[in-house]
């Protein structure tokens, strides 16, 4: 490709996280200076560090920072930026932002505002596609957003149906409704999420297709009427409408179906005069496809398309924004091999995937694959933004090889400090039906039981954890020895005793393990039976051990009240004795604690109210998703310290529910 014209000299990236880091990297390669914007919560974020300049644009809530058009334009003026790249999410599909950039004399690296406006509203886009003869999922896309009108439309569509935020994506503001009695609550929740995430509470309704696949087509267009497609992606593996694993090309897509999807996608783009990168999303079921929506921006999953085409889509965006023609035409575009991407999230699969916050104590990414991340070791994951830690992208000559490489990469990934979905992703990749390409958008829900951790302690990891704890205790003994008497037996390892071998107890996650010291090691009484353990664990946590006849290496990461063991792709976190822990006694006393930090957005009960087991008590919003707290037993609300709008920290007492009967 020819060099980029020097007319774009300074690019402001109106986003955060891994996409902001990625845009800065491409701009730097093209000789373009970069400007980052950040909220007060992101002052030390990675995207701030990699940019040439950075400007604070407001407090942590997105509405007051990353969604504040005036603040972003002020940063552009102050920095001397001549262009803005919106990334994805936030303002990336907001036509008012595109128009404001143009009015300020800035090049907007995205489609024209008119095209964005036509497609930004899912409702308007569907109406436009109906006029163009493109098949759409039956539903309601009307302007009347009253509860009565939406309820009537729902009755006509039939149940189950899907409520979707008209102005955004990412699974936010999206609810399945199975029966008429659930409609009102689901609608209210979807509207709150949509308003919080996108500043627009408008929703649409669709017939819910239970065994569909989510196939999307990447397209590109320039200002000279040239259009190309860059092949399709399969994004069917979703949980709560949030994509988890994506791949390109899509398996089980015939050449005829691929051609039909491509022609429809390009026709949709042409209908609105589209320019730049866009993604047209389809629902495919029983060989029939339906237009779902068009995302007028780069997608989170764009790396799999880059992997099979060898292109940099951010570079293409910049070139098109400067008025250049597309670098390649359709006959020149070839898909080679197979690419698959997994999204790593700070969430706890054992607690219904609740978003997690905390300090990234230890972080090591795998080698030999692409890792797109906006976080580093030592960063703190907060409650204000999407909890994605990274995307890991593996490429192979075919799908089987790509899956195998992604699994090895996930096995080599080390994350300590926040619960995450790494093991869950590996479990998904190991599912025979997934390997065979037999899945749809409900695959993860149907297979939830088989994807769940057994909860049983791995004897090998338990033994290694005990070794790490004992060796750390020995170091502590040595360090506390009297320096005036270095040969004192009292400064020796913890297992020394005057009368012979010592027996001690190591407590890990409630397991009280009897340990008897032997020459060169110890005999450990595991729940699965006795095990002779030898080896060492240095101060950095590098562990080399011999368990009976097996030699094993691992890594041990200590936190104040826990130990995380990483070994050959396996991982276990063990709670260490913590005298200050009182969560169990709180629960026994009727206290309900916050499962995560967040903001109270709705209260269903009042002080003194009597509630039944399972009744909703309050809604907490964290990372733009709502989480309903329900009553674990029948009882009376004795304390209610928070009101709507209050911020609650992790593990805070949300309320006290005095039991009316013995808790089950």
Looking at the annotation, which residues are catalytic?
A: 297
Alpha-carbon distance 564 to 574, whole Å?
6
Which single residue is written with the structure tokens 């302690």? Answer: 457
Q: Give the start-end residues of each E strand in 419-549.
A: 503-508, 511-518, 521-526, 529-537, 542-547
Q: Pairing relation of β-strands 635-639 and 610-611?
A: antiparallel
Residue 518 CA, distance from chain mean position: 47
At residue 302, φ and ψ (nearest 5 deg) are -60, -25
Which single residue is written with the structure tokens 């990236």? Answer: 13
Alpha-carbon distance 257 to 529, whole Å?
57
Residues whose CB is less than 8 angstroms from the CB of residue 435 and which lie 6 or more positions away in sequence, other chains included: 400, 403, 429
Nearest residue to 181 via CA among 138, 142, 151, 149: 151
Whether 215 contacts 422, CB under 8 Å: no
* Structure tokens belonging to residue 568: 């050959």
In the structure, how many helices (H) and strands (E) does the chain have? Answer: 18, 39
Residues whose CB is less than 8 angstroms from the CB of residue 130 and which lie 6 or more positions away in sequence, other chains included: 136
Nearest residue to 268 via CA among 280, 256, 277, 252: 280
Nearest residue to 309 via CA among 218, 238, 437: 218
- Alpha helix stretches (DSSP H) within 480-536: none
Q: Let me know if 156 is exposed, middle or buried by CB neighbors in 10 A (0-12, 13-18, 19+).
A: exposed
At residue 59, φ and ψ (nearest 5 deg) are -70, 175
Mapped onto helix, strand or coil, the DSSP state of residue 130 is helix
Q: Pairing relation of β-strands 107-108 and 83-85?
A: parallel
Give every strand in the sheet of 647-648, ordered side by side: 625-630, 616-622, 598-603, 647-648
Nearest residue to 375 via CA among 53, 340, 386: 386
Residues whose CB is less than 8 angstroms from the CB of residue 20 and which lie 6 or more positions away in sequence, other chains included: 13, 36, 47, 51, 87, 374
Give every strand in the sheet of 161-165, ordered side by side: 139-140, 203-207, 161-165, 175-177
* DSSP label of 503: E
């Amino acid at each position: 490709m020819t060099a980029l014209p020097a007319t774009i000299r300074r690019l402001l990236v109106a986003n955060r996280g891994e996409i902001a880091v990625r845009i800065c990297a491409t701009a730097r390669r093209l000789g373009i200076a970069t400007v980052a914007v950040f909220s007060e919560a992101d002052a030390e974020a990675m995207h701030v560090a990699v940019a040439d300049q950075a400007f604070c644009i407001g407090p942590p809530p997105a509405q007051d920072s990353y969604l504040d058009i005036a603040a972003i334009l002020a940063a552009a003026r102050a920095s001397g930026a001549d262009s803005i790249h919106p990334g994805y999410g936030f303002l990336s599909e907001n036509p008012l932002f595109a128009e404001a950039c143009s009015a300020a004399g800035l090049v907007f690296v995205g489609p024209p505002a008119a095209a964005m406006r036509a497609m930004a509203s899912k409702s308007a886009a569907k109406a436009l596609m109906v006029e163009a003869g493109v098949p759409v999922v039956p539903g309601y896309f009307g302007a009347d957003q009253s509860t009565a009108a939406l309820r009537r439309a729902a009755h006509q569509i039939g149940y189950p149906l899907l409520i979707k935020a008209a102005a955004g994506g990412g699974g936010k503001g999206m609810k399945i409704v199975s029966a008429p009695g659930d409609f009102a609550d689901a609608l209210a929740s979807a509207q709150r999420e949509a308003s919080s995430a996108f500043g627009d509470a408008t929703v649409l309704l669709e017939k819910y297709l239970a065994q569909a696949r989510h196939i999307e087509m990447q397209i590109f267009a320039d200002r000279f009427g040239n259009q190309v497609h860059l092949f399709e992606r399969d994004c069917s593996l979703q949980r709560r409408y949030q994509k988890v694993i994506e791949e390109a090309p899509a398996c089980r897509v015939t050449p005829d179906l691929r051609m039909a999807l491509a022609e429809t996608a390009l026709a949709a783009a042409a209908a609105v005069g589209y320019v730049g990168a866009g993604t047209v999303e389809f629902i495919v079921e029983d060989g029939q496809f339906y237009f779902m929506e068009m995302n007028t921006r780069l997608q989170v999953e764009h790396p799999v398309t880059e992997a099979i085409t060898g292109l940099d889509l951010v570079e293409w965006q910049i070139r098109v924004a400067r008025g250049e023609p597309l670098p390649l035409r359709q006959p020149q575009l070839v898909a080679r091999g197979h690419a698959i991407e997994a999204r790593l999230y700070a969430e706890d699969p054992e607690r219904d995937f609740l978003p997690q916050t905390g300090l990234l104590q230890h972080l090591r990414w795998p080698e030999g694959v692409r890792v797109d991340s906006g976080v580093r070791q030592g960063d703190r994951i907060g409650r204000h933004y999407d909890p994605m830690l990274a995307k890991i992208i593996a490429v192979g000559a075919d799908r089987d090889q790509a899956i195998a490489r992604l699994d090895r990469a996930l096995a080599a990934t080390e994350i300590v400090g926040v619960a995450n979905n790494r093991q869950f992703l590996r479990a998904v990749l190991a599912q025979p039906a997934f390997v065979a390409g037999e899945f749809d958008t409900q695959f993860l829900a149907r297979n939830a039981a088989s994807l769940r951790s057994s909860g049983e302690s791995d004897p090998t990891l338990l033994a290694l954890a005990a070794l790490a704890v004992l060796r750390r205790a020995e170091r502590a003994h040595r360090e506390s020895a009297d320096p005036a008497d270095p040969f004192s037996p009292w400064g020796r390892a913890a297992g020394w005793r005057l009368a012979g071998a010592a027996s001690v107890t190591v407590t890990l996650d409630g397991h009280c393990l009897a340990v008897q010291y032997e020459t060169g090691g110890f005999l450990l009484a595991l729940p699965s039976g006795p095990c002779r353990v030898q080896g060492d664990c240095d101060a950095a946590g590098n562990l080399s051990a011999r368990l009976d006849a097996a030699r094993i290496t691992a890594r041990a990461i200590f936190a104040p009240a826990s130990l995380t063991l990483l070994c050959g792709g396996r991982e276990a976190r063990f709670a260490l004795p913590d005298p200050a822990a009182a969560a169990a006694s709180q629960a026994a006393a009727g206290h309900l604690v916050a499962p995560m930090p967040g903001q109270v957005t709705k209260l269903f009960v009042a002080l003194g109210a009597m509630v039944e087991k399972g009744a909703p008590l309050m809604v907490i919003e964290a990372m733009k998703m709502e989480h309903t707290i329900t009553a674990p037993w029948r009882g009376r609300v004795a304390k209610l310290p928070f009101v709507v709008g209050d911020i609650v920290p992790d593990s805070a007492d949300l309320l006290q529910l005095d039991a009316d009967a013995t808790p089950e």
